[in-house]
Amino acid sequence: MEVALSIVEKLQHQPNSTLSTICFIIITILCVLIKFTRRNNKFNKLPPSPPKLPIIGNLHQLGTLPHQSLKALSDKYGPILLLQLGQTKALVVSSADIVEEIVKTHDVAFSNRANTKAAKVLFYQCKEIAFAPYGEEWRNKRKLCVLELLNTNRVKSFHPVRTNEVSTMINSIHEACAKGSSVNLSKLIIVTSSNISYRCIFGLRFETSDDGQKSIAEVVRKMMSQFLKFGVGDLFPSLDWVDVLTGFMSRLKVTFAELDEFLEEVIEEHKRKKRDENNKDFVDILLQLQERDMLDFELNGDTMKALLLDLLVAGSDSISSTIEWAFAELANSPKVMKKVQEEVRRIVGGKSMIEENDLNQMNYMKCVIKETLRLHPPGPFLIPRETANSVEIKGYHIPKKVTVYINSYAIHRDPKLWDNAEEFIPERFEGNQQIDYKVIDSQFIPFGIGRRGCPGMSFGVASLEYVIANLLYWFDWNVPNNNNSALIDMSEISGLNISKKQPLYLKPIPYQPNSFSQTVS
C-alpha cells in the first residue's frame, strides 16, 4: 500500500499524467496486493459457506429438522461447512473422512464442549461429563463412570431390573390382546425404558410422585424441552441481557431448583437407608465412593447431582427412540420382521424367559439394531464440540472457539459409504465384524467417537437388546387397518433425540412358545 501511495504522489506532480492512467496503475497495484495477501493469509482459507442473510447469517437455513437441512446444504456446498449463526460461527462436518482426520490428528483440539446457557444452568455449570470442558478433571470423572458405574459387571447386575420392567410391559400388552385392541407402542416403550434407567440410577420408577406433588418425570420433561432451546445470548452474545428481560433465565433457574430439590431428597434418602451390595443403584455407588474419599477429584454434592443428571438424560430418550424406530422399520419390512422373529424364537426355544446368553447368539437382531441406529442415530449431531485452538483440516483453516456439529445422520446416509443408503437393510451388517457398536472407523458413529464418545454404550445396548428381543419373542405385530398400503408414517420430530412425529400404534398377536417347534419345522 505504501508503494501505491508513493506512485500516486509522484504522478500528482507530473502534469502530463492523466486521471485514467493514475487509476489504472493504482487498481493494478491493489489487485497484486490483494492476490498476494490471499495467498499468504491462511484466514482466507476458510471452509465454504452457503449464502447468508444480514444479522442472522445462516440461521434461516436450519429449518425444523436441522440434521436434514444441514445434510442438504452439505450435499450442495461440500462435506465441511462454516456457518454464521447470528454472531457465532459453527462448523458442520458431514464426511467420515473428515471425522477420521479430526479424531486421529486433532482430537484434543476438538474435545471441548460448546455449551449453551441452558446446559450451564441445568447441569450445575457443567460439572459432569457430557458438557464439561476437556481436561484432567473431566478425564477423572469419566474414568469413575466407566470403571464404577458403567462397567460390564455393573450392567449385568441390573439384569433383574430390566427383567422386571419388561415383564410389566409384556403383561400390559397381553391385556390389550385380550381386548383385541391396538397398543400405543411408543408410550409403552418410553415408560419401560425410562423405568429401567430411573431404577438403575435412583431406585425409583419413572412416574413416581408423592402426596400429589409434581413427579420427577414432569420436571425432566420440562428440563428436556428447555435444554433444547437457544437463548438470544447464545447466538447474539452482545444481546445477552435480552434473556433476562424475556424470562428465559428465570425459567431455567426455576426448573433447576426443582431438579436440585429432587436430587437432594433422593441422595438424603439413600444416606438414611443404605442397601446391601446386591441392590445398589448409582446413587448408592457414588455415596460409597464419596465416603472412601480416594478419588482424584472432589465428589461434592453438586458434582454428584450433575453426574446423576447426566446419566438420567443419556439413558432415557436415546433408548426409547431407538426401539420405537426399530419397530417402525420392522413393521414396514415384513420379511425382515419374520426373519428376526424366527431367529429370536429359535434361540429362546420355548423358554418362559429370555436369558442373557440368548441375546449373545441373536446376531441378526443385532444387525437390525445397528441398521436402526444407522438410519436413526439418537443424537444426529452427537453433542456439539468446540475448537480449543485453530487447526488445519483438509486444507481449510478452522478458527478457535468455533462450535462443531458432526452430522452423523448425513454420514450414516452417505451413498459413498453405504449401498442403497436410504433403505432399511440389516443384512449389510451380517458378517462384518469391522462395523460394531464400538466403532473402529468413523462411518458408523451412533454413540459418538474419540475422547468424547459415549461411555454408557454398554448400558444402553443391554436395555435395547433385552426390550426388543422380548417384544419380538412374545408377539407378532400387525399394522392396524392395513390395506397393503405404505404402512408406517416415518416423519420425524426434532428434539434431543430424533423421534417419530406420530406415535407408533401396532396390533399385537400373542405368540405361543410351545407351538414354535411345530410351526418352524
Q: Answer yes or no: are the C-beta atoms of 180 and 196 closer than 8 Å.
A: no
Annotated binding-site residue? 31:
no
Q: Answer yes or no: are the C-beta atoms of 424 and 332 closer than 8 Å.
A: yes
- The C-alpha cell of 459 is what? 448400558
Interstrand relation of 403-406 and 88-93 (parallel, antiparallel or unpaired): parallel
C-alpha closest to that of 324 among 175, 487, 181, 502: 502
| Helix (H), strand (E) counts: the chain | 21, 12
Interstrand relation of 112-113 and 385-386 (parallel, antiparallel or unpaired): antiparallel
Q: Which SS3 state, helix, strand or coil, does residue 226 take? A: helix
| Centroid of chain to Cα 323 | 15
Q: Which SS3 state, helix, strand or coil, does residue 220 take? A: helix
Residue-wise burial string across 164-192, b where 16 or more C-beta atoms lie within 10 A, e elsewhere: ebbeebbeebeebbeeeebbebbebbbbb
Q: Which SS3 state, helix, strand or coil, does residue 475 take? A: strand
Contacts of 364 (CB under 8 A, 6+ apart): 339, 340, 343, 426, 430
| Centroid of chain to Cα 45 | 31
Cα–Cα distance between 425 and 485 in angstroms, integer?
A: 20
Interstrand relation of 88-93 and 183-184 (parallel, antiparallel or unpaired): unpaired
Cα–Cα distance between 30 and 20 in angstroms, integer?
A: 15
DSSP letter assigned to residue 507: E
Cα–Cα distance between 421 and 419 in angstroms, integer?
A: 5
Q: Answer yes or no: are the C-beta atoms of 387 and 404 closer than 8 Å.
A: yes
Cα–Cα distance between 129 and 137 in angstroms, integer?
A: 9
Interstrand relation of 112-113 and 391-393 (parallel, antiparallel or unpaired): unpaired
- The C-alpha cell of 425 is what? 437393510
Q: For 33-75, what is the HEC assignment?
A: HHHHHHHHCHHHCCCCCCCCECCCECHHHCCCCHHHHHHHHHH
- The C-alpha cell of 235 is what? 447466538
C-alpha closest to that of 328 among 509, 463, 486, 438: 486
Binding residues: 454
Binding residues for heme: 454
